[in-house]
Amino acid sequence: MKIVETSIPDVLIFDPTVHGDDRGYFMETFRLAHLTNLDPSINFVQDNQSKSKQGTLRGLHYQLKFPQGKLVRVISGEVFDVVVDIRQSSPTFGKWEGSILSAENKKQLWAPAGFAHGFYVLSEFAEMTYKCTEYYHPEDDYSLLWNDETIGIDWPLLDPSPLLSDKDQKAFSFTDAPLFP
């Protein structure tokens, strides 16, 4: 597996080696050592899966008291996956990183704790799975406004009005959001 650095040093893309022939393919999708070499305290406690239709934008979600590191991959379809550094003490505070994740390219994105996460569905449908380093706590659930001008994410929108949940429509602006110290 190739580990590719991004413009934000803590955010990584995992690009697996795919062994294929006329019968299909095999690939390793997870090896804990790849992450514990970066941070020995990483421990996944929850796996999630979601399915969304084209034009859906989910996020940018995060937790403060129980921050989650996430290893995200798409098992069907294609998304534009985004993370925003919300660690006020970080040299990349307020910066975002986006990557196309798809069932075809098989890439995974590692977003450590301290990042808001979201995605936009480019294909007819997309199914995603992600491993989390902390349990989901609904009382500690926050959302940043997806189109906040301070962050300036360049979303590859197919329609200027993405499909949003009520929560994401009422999300915090970056300047008003509670963030990490």
Residues labelled catalytic: 61, 130
Diameter over CA atoms, the chain: 54
Q: How far apart are CA 154 and CA 167, in angstroms?
A: 21
Q: Radius of gyration over alpha carbons of the chain, in Å? A: 16
What is the DSSP-derived secondary structure letter of residue 139? G
Q: Which residues pair with 26 in a beta bridge?
A: 19
What burial class does residue 95 get, using C-beta atoms within 10 Å of its C-beta: 0-12 exposed, 13-18 middle, 19+ buried? Answer: middle
What burial class does residue 165 get, using C-beta atoms within 10 Å of its C-beta: 0-12 exposed, 13-18 middle, 19+ buried? Answer: middle
Burial 40-53 (b: 16+ CB within 10 A, else e): eebebeeeeeeebe
